[in-house]
């Protein structure tokens, strides 16, 4: 009887300990799931913020500049004003296409029927009409890339050229896409006013501009970091700015012959 009672007491204590351990495990799993949900929400908010900044916000900014230019020349140069209005309408059409593809979570509209090099060339040509002259150059053979890499590089180029247009006061800019086999690099250089990278690395503000709006460079860094790459910014007051994004990729196969590369002069 004594042995049976001892065994029963031991089993009860062991069962109690097991219940405590199970409760702790359930609480831990619940906390882990909540943490993962919060991390997912934050990551999605960051993605949405970057997409909106690089598409709709930049399009609205360009439209505002063109409409302001049209308003200034409405009486003195009606033909130029109508040209600005036509350009603003084209940007509105592209922004609408981006918004629709954004809602459907698709790749950028510029990459729907173009290669990355062609999309960057078209971007350079468009930006040349609304701001400083932009040249595009491709160095090395460009093979097929993952869609997310192409989308990230195009968004980075859009954001960097928007900074040039709004803040740099540049007369020329250059896009250079370099293929190095194990990585692909995108450089955006301008001859604008530059800035001090030791004190301000997240925006290139114009004198008197709202410095609280700087979102472009943090969004670029987040995109590159998600792909395991690096983003560097080289600038100095009065000496222009160079933004470089380097993303590792698998060794590229041979050139794709049915996707010719177009560049601006």
CA–CA separation, 156 and 139 (whole Å): 18
Q: Assess whether pLDDT exceeds 60 at residue 252.
A: no
Q: Assess whether pLDDT exceeds 80 at residue 220.
A: yes
> Which range, of 3-7, 16-20, 166-170, 214-218, averages the lowest pLDDT?
214-218
Contact of 91 with 63, CB cutoff 8 Å: yes
User: How big is the chain by its Cα radius of gyration, in Å?
Assistant: 26
pLDDT at 103: 61
Q: Rounded mean pLDDT of 107-117?
A: 76
pLDDT at 73: 87
Average pLDDT, the chain: 77
0.75 exceeded by pTM: no
Label residue 150 by pLDDT band (50, 70, 90): confident
3-state secondary structure the chain: CHHHHHHHHHHHHHHHHHHHHHHHHHHHHHHHHHHHHHHHHHHHHHHHHHHHHHHHHHHHHHHHHHHHHHHHHCCCCHHHHHHHHHHHHHHHHHHHHHHHHHHCCCCCHHHCCCCHHHHHHHHHHHHHHHCCEEEEEEECCCCCCCHHHHHHHHHHHHHHHHHHHHHHCCCEEEEEEEECCCEEEEEEEECCCCCCCCCCCCCCCCCCCCHHHCCHHHHHHHHHHHCCCEEEEEECCCCCEEEEEEEECCCCCCCCCCCCCCCCC
pLDDT at 211: 40
pLDDT at 255: 39
pLDDT at 254: 41
Q: What is the pLDDT of residues 70-95, one digit of tens each?
A: 888 888 888 888 888 888 888 888 77
Helices 116-130 and 147-163 cross at an angle (nearest 10°) of: 10
> Which range, of 67-76, 191-200, 206-215, averages the lowest pLDDT?
206-215
CA–CA separation, 221 and 166 (whole Å): 19
pLDDT at 107: 63
Q: Rounded mean pLDDT of 3-24?
A: 85
For the ranges 12-21, 29-38, 243-252, the one whose mean pLDDT is highest: 12-21
More confident residue, 106 or 23: 23
> Which range, of 43-52, 64-73, 133-142, averages the lowest pLDDT?
43-52
pLDDT at 262: 45
CA–CA separation, 169 and 158 (whole Å): 17
Label residue 215 by pLDDT band (50, 70, 90): low
């Amino acid at each position: 009887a004594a042995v049976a009672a001892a065994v029963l007491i031991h089993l009860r204590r062991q069962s109690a300990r097991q219940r405590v351990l199970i409760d702790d495990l359930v609480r831990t799993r619940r906390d882990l799931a909540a943490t993962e949900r919060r991390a997912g929400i934050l990551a999605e908010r960051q993605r949405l913020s970057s997409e909106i900044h690089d598409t709709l916000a930049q399009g609205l900014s360009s439209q505002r500049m063109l409409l302001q230019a049209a308003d200034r020349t409405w009486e003195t140069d009606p033909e130029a004003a109508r040209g600005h209005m036509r350009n603003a309408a084209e940007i509105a059409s592209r922004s609408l296409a981006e918004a629709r593809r954004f809602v459907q979570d698709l790749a950028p509209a510029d990459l729907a029927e173009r290669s990355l090099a062609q999309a960057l060339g078209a971007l350079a040509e468009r930006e040349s009409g609304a701001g400083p002259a932009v040249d595009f150059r491709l160095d090395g053979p460009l093979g097929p890339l993952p869609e997310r890499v192409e989308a990230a590089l195009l968004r980075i180029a859009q954001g960097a050229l928007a900074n040039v247009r709004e803040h740099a006061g540049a007369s020329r800019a250059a896009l250079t896409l370099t293929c190095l086999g194990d990585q692909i690099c995108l450089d955006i250089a301008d001859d604008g006013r530059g800035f001090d990278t030791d004190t301000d690395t997240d925006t290139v503000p114009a004198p008197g501009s709202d410095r609280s709006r700087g979102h472009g460079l943090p969004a670029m860094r987040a995109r590159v970091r998600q792909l395991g790459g690096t983003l560097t910014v080289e600038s100095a007051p009065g000496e222009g700015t160079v933004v470089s994004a380097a993303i590792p990729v698998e060794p590229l196969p041979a050139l794709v012959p049915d996707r010719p590369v177009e560049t601006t002069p």
